[in-house]
Structure formats: C-alpha cells, structure tokens
Amino acid sequence: MDLSLTEAERDLAELCRQFATKEIARRAPAAWERAECPTDLLREMGQLGLLGMLIPEEWGGIGMSTVGFVAAMEQIGLADQSVAAAWQAHVTIGSLPLYLFGNDTQRERWLRPLAEGHVLGAFGLTEPEAGSDARNITTRAERREGGWLINGRKAFISNAGTDMSFGVTLLARTEPAEGGAPRFGSFVVEKDTPGFSMGPKLRGIGWRGLDTRELYFDDVWVPDEHLIGDPDLGMGQFLATLEVGRISIAALSLSLTQAVLDLAIEYAQRRQQFGRPISQFQAVQFKLADIATELEAARWLTYRAAYLRDTGQPFLKEASMAKLKASRVATAAASEAVQIHGGVGYMLDSAVARFYCDAKVLEIGEGTNEIQHVVIARALGC
C-alpha cells in the first residue's frame, strides 16, 4: 500500500497551505469572534476549485482523490476549524448525495453550482427526536399529483442558512401515512420554496463560524424532479454518504491535533519557568511525544480509509475506526495543549483555547463515537 501523495495531490495541498496561511488564518478568527459563517472565504475557496473537491470535472469539480482531500484538509483545518467544518460538510455530505445518486438533469441543475463553488450544500438528516437513531425520523414526504408534500423538522443542519446556501438535501419517510414497512426518500428543497423556513443560527461551544440551524417544512411541495433516486432507497444513500463524511471528520481531527501540537511546542520552547523553558521538563516533553505519536497513528488510519475508497474497496469499518481514533486523539491533544499553555491557554483570546472549544464536536458529528463503536462491532460480526 503506497500512501505517498501524487504530484496533483501535493500541488493541491500546497495551494491549500498557501490559502490557509495567507487568508484563512488572518481572517477567520474575527468570524469566530462574531460567530458568523465566513462565506467570503468559502467563495474564494470556490474560485480556487476547492468546493468541487470530490466531484469530477464533468460536473464542475476538480475530481480529486479522497487521499488528496485529506491532505488538503490537513492544511485548511490547521488554520481554522469553522471554515474547515463548513467546507468539509459542503464537499462531502452537502454535495455527494447529488453526485452519487442524482440523475444527470439533477447534477446539472444542483450539483454543478455546488461544485463550481457558487453555492453551499447542506445535508438534512438529524431531527429533534432522531439523531443516532436515524430510522426514527418523522419528516414525511407524501405523494401528490406530480410531486411530493413534505412536512417535518430537522435539527442541527449545517450550511443551510448562510447567504451562500442553496437549500438542503433532506431525508423523509415515504411510506403511506396509514403505515407499512418504513421507507425513506431523499429530496432537494431549494431555499425560497414556500413553507420552508429556519430558526436562528445555533451557538455551539466551538465551530462558532459554522452555520447550524433547525429547519422547518410546512406543506412544502416539490415536483418529482426533486426526488433523488428511488423513493425507497434514501436511507441507504444517506448512510453511504456519511461513510465519506467520517473520513472527512477524521481528517479535520488530524488538522486540529497538528495545530495544537505546533502551538504547544512553540509555547513550551518560549515559556520560561524555574529559569528554563518548560520544554526542558520531562513531563511536558512526554505530553508532546504522546500527542505526536497518537497523531501519527490516527493519520495512518485516516489515509488508509481514504485509500480504500479511492481504490474501490469497502471502507465502512475503516472510516469509522479513523473517525473514532482521530477525534479522540484530537480532544485529548487539545486538552493537553491547553495544559501546557497554563492560564494563557484557558483564555479565549489564545488560538489553543479556540481549538480546544472546536475539538469536542468531532466526537459527536456525523455519528457519535458510540455509534462508530456500533458500526465497527457490527463489521466484526457482533
């Protein structure tokens, strides 16, 4: 297994490194402070082709490999996790359902503007009473003459409420109201559709720049062309999309871990106590060595999951393992990095504190870590 980057993947990572250090690192902290989604940065990333990362050129993307996407994420997330979170949600769960399961007309109409970076994509699965238990969703799409009538509510949906959002691809029950075996279909609902509304931007511990909201659907009528694929196969489509999303969250976790490791090393070499830099104390050195070692282990799991996807092999278990390991490493590393910074690291003005706040959600989003355990255990035959 060769995990070295190709020339195209290296070039992409370098492009992302330059944009991240020149633009994101400079502008994103203010967006974090204002708790606003920095769509100006996302639009510029679109102009660089970064919003169509995993979509072939035929549909407006750059057709990058998953390995290349992970390498690009390592650079973007190093600069700011909110921008990276919005970006990855768009690239994976926000765009892939249309690419993987839409027909050519739907790809032309909705996927191309997403991939070319004109609009931002959103994925509507979670509901107030259905998070981990996705099959418990109650949003319903009822068959009507020439289309579908959608009623329900979605919770914690990212990227649907910005000035760059196009709407949402959502999952709804499609079995008749009178009952029958549960069935699910996925539908595109554009933002100005009558009956579609949303709540205010939610306030998280971290990812303060990410736009996450509740969405409401009251007698929203969409024509048949808005149904993606088979009206009964939506759940499988959404779960398949989440597999890629998990590699993406793992990559985001790598970038956070690298960021806090870099900050902790730099601070430990600069901060003097007892007449010497704290980096000379073995207790501090061992923390740094542990973070670096765990990061490397998580990195290999993540690149391997990406490699399996790129080579057409099953990657369900490996994506869950990568997400589980990398997110745990990230939260532990962020905590230790704050510890190394002492009181300075506790203050929200410090970069390490912001990364600490951003870390926790990595263990929750796109399937909690408990659900990753369930997926892995099932793959082991339990």
235 is an interface residue for ligand FAD by CB under 6 A: no
Instruction: Count other C-beta atoms under 10 Å from residue 177's C-beta.
Output: 8
Instruction: Count other C-beta atoms under 10 Å from residue 139's C-beta.
Output: 22
361 is an interface residue for ligand FAD by CB under 6 A: yes
CB of 22 to ligand FAD, least distance (A): 27
Residues 201-230 that bind ligand FAD (CB under 6 A): 204, 207, 212
370 is an interface residue for ligand FAD by CB under 6 A: yes
The count of residues interacting with ligand FAD (CB under 6 A) is 22
CB of 184 to ligand FAD, least distance (A): 13
| 3 state DSSP class of 238 | helix
Widest distance between CA atoms in the chain: 79
Residue with tokens 């990362």: 53
CB of 129 to ligand FAD, least distance (A): 8
Active site residue 366: yes
Task: Give residue 60's Cα distance to chain centre.
Answer: 21
57, 116, 207, 348 from 63: Cα distances, Å: 6, 12, 27, 38
CB of 186 to ligand FAD, least distance (A): 12
- Select 5 or 239, whichever has its Cβ closest to ligand FAD: 239
- Select 156 or 355, whichever has its Cβ closest to ligand FAD: 156
CB of 267 to ligand FAD, least distance (A): 28
Strands 123-124 and 167-173, by their bridges, are parallel
CB of 133 to ligand FAD, least distance (A): 6
Site string for ligand FAD, 161-190 (x = CB under 6 A): ------------------------------
198 is an interface residue for ligand FAD by CB under 6 A: no
376 is an interface residue for ligand FAD by CB under 6 A: no
- Residue pair 217/189 in contact (Cβ under 8 Å)? The answer is yes
137, 173, 224, 306 from 183: Cα distances, Å: 11, 6, 17, 30
156 is an interface residue for ligand FAD by CB under 6 A: yes
220, β-bridge pairs = 150
Sign of the alpha-carbon dihedral angle for 283, 359, 357, 42: positive
The tokens describing 106, both together, are 């739907």
Q: Which of 20, 54, 157, 254 binds ligand FAD (CB under 6 A)?
A: 157
Q: Which of 29, 56, 63, 131 binds ligand FAD (CB under 6 A)?
A: 131
- Select 236 or 277, whichever has its Cβ closest to ligand FAD: 236
142, β-bridge pairs = 149
- Select 14 or 129, whichever has its Cβ closest to ligand FAD: 129
Between CA 287 and CA 368 the distance in angstroms is: 26
Give residue number: closest CB to ligand FAD: 131
CB of 130 to ligand FAD, least distance (A): 7
Strands (E), the chain: 123-124, 140-144, 147-158, 167-173, 184-190, 196-198, 212-223, 227-228, 272-273, 276-277
| Residue from 36, 294, 366, 370 carrying the catalytic annotation | 366
263 is an interface residue for ligand FAD by CB under 6 A: no
- Select 158 or 320, whichever has its Cβ closest to ligand FAD: 158
Residues 132-151 that bind ligand FAD (CB under 6 A): 132
Between CA 123 and CA 244 the distance in angstroms is: 13
Q: Is 372 exposed, middle or buried (0-12, 13-18, 19+ CB in 10 A)?
A: buried
Site string for ligand FAD, 270-299 (x = CB under 6 A): ------------------------------
Q: Which of 110, 123, 196, 355 binds ligand FAD (CB under 6 A)?
A: 123
Residues 58-97 that bind ligand FAD (CB under 6 A): 89
Between CA 67 and CA 90 the distance in angstroms is: 17
Rg (alpha carbons) of the chain, rounded to whole number = 21
Q: Which of 240, 344, 374, 379 binds ligand FAD (CB under 6 A)?
A: 374
Q: Interface with ligand FAD by CB under 6 A: which residues?
A: 89, 123-126, 131-132, 156-158, 204, 207, 212, 361, 364-368, 370-371, 374
Active site residues: 366
